[in-house]
Amino acid sequence: MTSLKGSLQLLERLVNNLTSPMLPKLIAQSSRSMHKITALVEDLLNLSRINQDRLQLTKSAFVLSKIVSAGSSEIRLAEEYKIIVTGDLELEVFADEHQIDQVLVNFINNAVKYAPRSKDIIVSIEKINDMARVSVTDKGPGIRPEEAKRIFERYYRVETAGFQTGGLGLGLYISAEIIKKHEGRIGVESEPGKGSTFWFTIPIEI
Ligand code: ADP
């Protein structure tokens, strides 16, 4: 919010100088801050719905790989990351598209935040019996087993020196609640120093 305020104040000063070279930078910065605030508000709204047991699913049929390309375009805007989608690109599910998109965006955003040097992020889509499995793999620092057990808890964050993040520790908790509501499973496989694979399964129901 402070960053958005700052760039808007500078933009206000430039209002009579529309040729300033600062303009594109300030607009991009405002837009990034706005995205962050939107995500934060969405997290807080979801948290309050979960607390009141009012997280509802609006299900429709959609192709899982479509949401990967729609969601990841936002991420590509901000950074030079490559999202590689593999597996069953035609796989269709009957689920809450917006909420599943949120889980996926959360996994991908986390890969960008916590594995910043891992430029390739691999999203894999598979059909396992009557379930769809989606996973996001990065080649970042990984997570120690004792922490991996806890990161889906509300407000849990791994405090690692050197990471400039500023999250609330809500993303994975909300993701876990969304997947639970779909009667699926969520988890992480990780080897410290090698990277992490965050995954979830949901019933296909088609
Ligand atoms: P936040 O990002 O707000 O901290 P999350 O619930 O999304 O909240 O994540 C919880 C914690 O899990 C993070 O603080 C981070 O330490 C760890 N984490 C999540 N994704 C990754 C990843 N891809 N690599 C390493 N650590 C991760």
27: domain range?
2-51
Do 166 and 66 lie in a common domain?
yes
For the chain, the average pLDDT equals: 89
**What is 74-99 written as a DSSP string?**
HHHHHS--EEEEEE-TT-EEEE-HHH
Q: Is the pLDDT of residue 126 over 90?
A: yes
In this prediction the pTM is 0.87
| Nearest atom of ligand 1 to the alpha carbon of 160 | 16
Distance 25 CA to ligand 1 centre (A): 28
Higher pLDDT, 158 or 132: 132
pLDDT at residue 168 in the model: 83
> How many H-runs (helices) and E-runs (strands) does the chain carry?
6, 7
pLDDT at residue 112 in the model: 87
Q: What tens digit of pLDDT does each residue of 24-70 get? A: 999 998 998 898 898 889 899 999 999 999 999 999 999 999 998 76
Q: Which two tokens stand for residue 193?
A: 């120093």
Domain count, the chain: 2
Separation CA 128–CA 16 (nearest Å): 59
Burial (Cβ within 10 Å: 0-12, 13-18, ≥19) of residue 102? buried
Separation CA 76–CA 78 (nearest Å): 5
Do 103 and 142 lie in a common domain?
yes
Do 79 and 26 lie in a common domain?
no
Is residue 133 classed as helix, strand or coil in its secondary structure? Answer: strand
pLDDT at residue 152 in the model: 95
Q: Which residues line ligand 1 (CB under 6 A)?
A: 106, 110-111, 114-115, 138, 140-141, 143, 151, 156-158, 167-173, 196
Do 118 and 146 lie in a common domain?
yes
Do 106 and 147 lie in a common domain?
yes
Do 72 and 119 lie in a common domain?
yes
Do 102 and 160 lie in a common domain?
yes
Is residue 194 classed as helix, strand or coil in its secondary structure? Answer: coil
Do 37 and 87 lie in a common domain?
no
For residues 140 and 161, the answer to whether their CB atoms sit within 8 Å is no
* Residue the block writes with tokens 């069953």: 88
For residues 205 and 95, the answer to whether their CB atoms sit within 8 Å is yes
Do 102 and 174 lie in a common domain?
yes
Do 76 and 175 lie in a common domain?
yes
What spatial distance separates the first Cα and last Cα of the chain, rounded to whole Å?
A: 42
Do 36 and 80 lie in a common domain?
no
Pick the residue whose CA is nearest to atom 16 on ligand 1: 158
Distance 114 CA to ligand 1 centre (A): 7
